[in-house]
Amino acid sequence: MTRANSSEESSSKDNEESSTAAGPKRADGTPMAPEEIQQLEQLKQTDREVRQHEMAHQVVGGPYAGGASYDYEAGPDGKRYAVAGEVPIDYGPVPNDPQATIEKMQTVIAAAMAPADPSPKDYQVAAQARQYLLEAKLEAAMLRSEMEQARSAGAATNSSTAESPTSVPSTSVSSTDEQAA
């Protein structure tokens, strides 16, 4: 019986060692403690969330978004995990082109708010872009109004010169006609 017990103990020790050996290891190759495993899982989750957040900005921001940069933390396994990130975005107005500014700001707002969980900085960028958007819409409306006024004035000038080449007002002709009658 001692042989059976010793072989059972031996296979039980082998199973423990192989299950421990299969788990996460530190940078030096030794098995991690449960707290370290928990920390590693949290770092992996944070890394996924940070990368997804920044990728959302990049995809929606298109030509106005730059490359992502990350802040890293070393895990108990010796690998680096992203714990914060940033994507630069050009959210300045387009000089002398309100329509281009409107289109750009719509893209910038969408990019800032693209992640599932926008950060305070994301809200700040979106708010500034909304301000530029409103200013550009006002400028575009003023330009349209000026153009319409210029067209109306041009049309009135063209029609009055076509109707009376002698520049005599039609009201004086009417009053003359009344006196003759």
What digits encode the pLDDT tens for the residues 10-32? 444 444 444 445 789 998 999 99
Are residues 105 and 129 in contact, defined by beta-carbon separation less than 8 angstroms?
A: yes
User: What is this structure's pTM?
Assistant: 0.70
CB 21 within 8 A of CB 29: no
Q: Using one digit for the tens of pLDDT, what is the confidence trace for 102-121?
A: 999 999 999 999 999 999 99
Name the residue with higher pLDDT: 159 or 19: 159
Among 8-17, 97-106, 170-179, the range scoring the smallest mean pLDDT is 170-179
34 is written with which tokens? 């449960």
Q: Sign of the CA dihedral 166, 172, 175, 176?
A: negative
